[in-house]
Amino acid sequence: MDPNILKSGTFDVIWRKKMLGNYNGFTEQFYAQPLVFTPPSRHQRLYVISQQNIAYIMNATTGDILQSRQLKIPFLVSPDLEGCNDISDCIGSTATGVIDPETGTWYLTTKTYEDQTKSTPQGLAKGRYWFHALDVATLVDRKGFPVLIDGTVGDNAPWRMFEGGKHHQRPALMLVRDFVYAGFASHCVQWNFTGWVMGWNKYNGKSVAAWAMEGGKEKEKGIGGGVWMSGGGIASDNLGRMFFATGNGYASQLANEPIPGRSPPTALEEAVVNMVIKDDGSLSPVDFFMPWEKRDLDAMDKDLGTSGFVLLDAGVFKTDKVKRIGCIAGKTGKLYFLDLEDLGGYQMGPGRKDKVLQTVQMPAPVFSSAGSYPGEGGWVYITPVGKQAVAFKFGKDSAGNPVFTQAGVTAHTAAGRQGVGHGTVTSMNGQPGSCILWLTDVEGVNFRAYGCIPDDKGILPALLLVNNPGQSKFSRPTFGDGRVYLTTANGYVTALGSPVNMPFACKGAPLDAGMVLIGGQTVTEVKCVAKIGLVVDRVEMDPGATHFNLTGVPRLPAAFVTGATLTFNVIFKPLGIGPLGATINIRTTNSGRQPYAINTPVVIRGIARSIAPILVIQPNVLSFGEIITGSNESTVFDFAVENAGEGNLTVNGYKWSIDSPDGPYLSPAPTANAGGVYTIGPFNLTGLLKAGGIIRGNDRVVITTKFAPTKDGYFKLYLVITTTGGTKTVGAFGSAGSAPKAFFEWKTAGGTWIPYVSGVAFTFGPVLRGNQEVRTMRLTNKGGTTLTTTISKPPVSGSLAALNGLASIAEGSQLAPNASEEAQLICAPPKGQVNMPPLPLTSIWTFNNNDPTMGKQVIQFTCAGTSPQLGPASLSGNNQGRYRYLGCYKDADPERKMESLLYYRNESENGGCMSNCFSRGWRFAATEYEGECWCGNKTVGSTNVEDVTCGYLCKGDYRQYCGGDGAYMSLFGDEERYDPNNTSTTTKMSTSATVISSPASALPPITTTTITAKTTTETPRPDYMYLGCYLEPPTGLRALSKDTYTSDNGMTTTSCQGFCTSHSYPLSGTEYSSECYCGTTFAPNTTVVPLSSNVCNMPCSGAPSEICGGRGVLSVWNNTILIPTPEPKEVGRVGEYNALGCYAEGTTGRALDGAAIAKANMTVEGCVGFCQEGGWPLAGVEYSTECFCGKELQNGAVKAGDGGCNMVCGGDKLAFCGGYARLNIYSRITSTSKTINPPASTGTPKPTTSPLTRKSILASTIRTTVLIPSTAKTPPTP
Q: Give the tens place of pLDDT for each residue, 568-602.
A: 999 999 988 888 888 899 999 998 877 788 888 88
Q: What is the pLDDT of residues 504-535, one digit of tens each?
A: 999 987 899 999 999 999 999 999 999 999 99
623 and 604 in a common domain: no
pLDDT confidence band for 1212 (50 / 70 / 90): confident
Tell me the C-alpha to C-alpha distance, in Å, between residue 269 and each of 223, 243, 273, 283: 9, 14, 10, 17
Per-residue pLDDT, 1203: 82
What are the two backbone dihedrals, phi and then psi, of residue 1265, each rounded to the nearest 5 degrees? -85, -45
Out of 1061, 1084, 1119, a domain closes at 1119
* pLDDT range class, residue 1243, cuts 50, 70, 90: very low
d(Cα 950, Cα 1015) in Å, to the nearest integer? Answer: 27
Rounded to 5, what percent of the chain is helix, strand, coil?
5, 40, 55
pLDDT above 50 for 49: yes
- pLDDT computed for residue 1267 by the predictor: 31
Q: Is residue 572 part of a domain?
A: yes
Residue finishing a domain among 1096, 1119, 1142: 1119
Rounded to 10 degrees, the C-alpha dihedral 911/912/915/916 comes to -150
Those residues with Cβ within 8 angstroms of residue 459's Cβ, 6 or more apart along the chain or in another chain = 408, 409, 410, 411
**In degrees to the nearest 10, what's the CA dihedral of 762, 765, 771, 777?**
-20
**Which of 220-229, 1236-1245, 1254-1263 shows the highest mean pLDDT?**
220-229
Would 227 be classed as within a structural domain? no
CB neighbours of residue 746 within 10 Å = 21
- Residue 840: beta bridge partners? 864
Which carries the bigger pLDDT value, residue 396 or residue 1003?
396
| DSSP-derived pairing of the beta strands 1087-1089 and 358-361 | unpaired
* 1214 within a domain of the structure (yes/no): yes
**pLDDT tier for residue 1086 given thresholds of 50, 70 and 90:** confident
Amino acid (one-letter) located at 848: N
Residue 487: pLDDT band by 50, 70, 90 thresholds? very high
What is the C-alpha separation between 84 and 832, in angstroms, rounded?
28
Element (H, E) at 702: strand 700-707
- Tell whether 495 is covered by a domain: no
Position 1272 confidence tier, pLDDT thresholds 50, 70, 90: very low
| Predicted pLDDT at 666 | 85
For 891-952, list the strands marked E by DSSP. 900-904, 924-928, 932-936, 944-945
Asked if 1149 and 1195 touch (Cβ cutoff 8 Å), the reply is yes
How long, in residues, is the chain?
1278
Cα(480)–Cα(1) distance, rounded to whole angstroms? 9
d(CA 206, CA 194): 22
CA distances from 1062 to 270, 518, 833, 915, 1078 (A): 65, 92, 19, 25, 10
State mean pLDDT over 884-899.
82
Strand order from edge to edge, sheet including 558-560: 511-517, 599-609, 578-590, 534-541, 558-560
Contact call for residues 1217 and 1207 (beta carbons, < 8 A) = yes
| pLDDT of the residue at 396 | 87
| Eight-class DSSP state of 1185 | T
For residue 747, pLDDT over 60 is answered with: yes
pLDDT surpasses 50 at 1000: no
Rounded to an integer, what is the distance from CA 243 to the centroid of its chain?
31
pLDDT digits (tens, 9 = 90+) for 1036-1067: 678 888 888 888 788 999 999 988 888 888 89
Q: Give the N- to C-terminal CA distance of the chain in Å, as an integer.
A: 92
Predicted pLDDT of residue 1276:
52
- Give the pLDDT score at 777: 96
Reduced 3-state DSSP string for 851-901: CCCCCCEEEEEEEEEECCCCCEECCCCCCCECEEEEEEEECCCCCCCCCEE
* Residue that wins the pLDDT comparison between 205 and 907: 205
- Cα–Cα distance between 267 and 222 in angstroms, integer? 7
Cα 1008 to Cα 1019: distance, rounded to the nearest angstrom? 11
DSSP notation for 57-125: EEETTT--EEEEEE-SPPEE-TTTTTT--SS-SEES--S--EEETTTTEEEEEEEEES-TT--S---GG
| pLDDT value at residue 193 | 79
Q: Residue 982: pLDDT above 70?
A: no
Q: Please indicate, yes or no, if residue 622 is contained in any of the structural domains.
A: yes
Q: What is the pLDDT of residues 648-692, one digit of tens each?
A: 999 999 999 999 888 898 876 567 776 778 888 899 999 889 889
pLDDT in tens, 234-245: 999 988 899 999
Q: Are 942 and 912 within one domain?
A: yes
The residue type of 1230 is: T
As a whole number, mean pLDDT of residues 80-101 equals: 90
Residue 744, classed as helix, strand or coil, is: strand
> Is pLDDT above 80 for 958?
yes
Mean pLDDT of 802-827: 88
What is the reported pLDDT for 1080? 85
Q: Are residues 526 and 594 in the same domain?
A: yes
Q: How many CB atoms lie within 10 A of CB 44?
A: 15
**824 and 854 inside one domain:** yes
Q: Residue 1007: its pLDDT value, please?
A: 33
Q: Which pLDDT band, with edges at 50, 70 and 90, does 1142 fall under?
A: very high
Query: Is the torsion defined by CA of 1087, 1091, 1093, 1097 positive or negative?
Result: positive
Q: What angle do CA 77, 81, 82 make, to 5 degrees?
A: 120
Residue 46 located in a structural domain: no
Burial 574-584 (b: 16+ CB within 10 A, else e): beebbebbbbb
* Lowest-confidence segment of 175-179, 249-253, 653-657 by average pLDDT: 249-253
What residues pair up with 310 in beta bridges, in sequence order?
327
| 3-state secondary structure at position 1256 | helix
Task: Return d(Cα 516, Cα 505) in angstroms, integer.
Answer: 27
Note whether 1191 and 1105 are same-domain residues: no
* pLDDT reported for residue 164: 94
Average pLDDT taken over every residue of the chain: 86
Task: Determine the pLDDT at residue 1207.
Answer: 87
Q: Which residues contact 809 (CB under 8 A, 6 or more apart)?
A: 777, 779, 789, 792, 794, 821, 823, 847
Same domain, 822 and 717: no
Predicted confidence (pLDDT) per residue in 1091-1100, tens digit: 667 888 888 9
Lowest mean pLDDT among 374-383, 658-667, 1180-1189, 1225-1234: 1225-1234
> How buried is 257 (Cβ within 10 angstroms: 0-12 exposed, 13-18 middle, 19+ buried)?
exposed
Residues 901 and 1006 in one domain: yes
Nearest Cα to 476, choosing from 486, 488, 489? 486
Query: Looking at residues 74-78, what average pLDDT do you find?
Result: 93
- Looking at residue 876, its pLDDT comes to 81
Query: Based on the domain organization, do 691 and 747 belong to the same domain?
Result: no
Per-residue confidence (pLDDT) for residue 1008, from 0 to 100: 31
Q: Which of 22-31, 58-67, 891-900 has the lowest mean pLDDT?
A: 891-900
Looking up residue 691, the CATH number of its domain turns out to be 2.60.40.10
Are residue 892 and residue 1005 in the same domain, yes or no? yes
**For residue 1262, what is the enclosing H or E element?**
helix 1254-1265
Q: What pLDDT is stored for residue 1278 in this prediction? A: 55
Same domain, 746 and 731: no
Whether 691 is in a domain gets the answer yes
User: Does 1005 lie in the same domain as 888?
Assistant: yes
**Where residue 44 falls among pLDDT bands split at 50, 70, 90?**
very high
Nearest 5°: CA angle at 414, between 408 and 419?
Answer: 130
Buried b (16+ CB within 10 A) or exposed e, 1156-1187: beeeeebbbbbbbbbbbeeebbbbbbbbbbbb
Neighbours of 1092 (CB within 10 A): 6
Q: Smallest Cα–Cα separation from 600: which of 504, 534, 706, 525?
A: 504
Which of 737, 760, 784 is the endpoint of a domain?
A: 737
Rounded to an integer, what distance in angstroms lies between the CA atom of residue 824 and that of residue 328? Answer: 35
Q: 1054: which DSSP letter?
A: H
Domain count, the chain: 6
Predicted pLDDT of residue 1245: 33
Whether 1075 maps to a domain, the answer reads yes
Distance separating alpha carbons of residues 776 and 793, to the nearest angstrom? 16
Tell me the residue range of the domain where 1077 lies. 1024-1119
pLDDT value for 1010: 30
Q: What is the reported pLDDT for 891?
A: 83
Give residues with Cβ within 8 angstroms of 350, minimum separation 6: none
**How deeply is 840 buried, as exposed, middle or buried, from its count of CB atoms within 10 A (0-12, 13-18, 19+)?**
exposed
- Position 221 scores a pLDDT of 62
- How many Cα atoms are found within 13 Å in the side-chain-facing hemisphere of 1089? 20
One domain for residues 929 and 904: yes
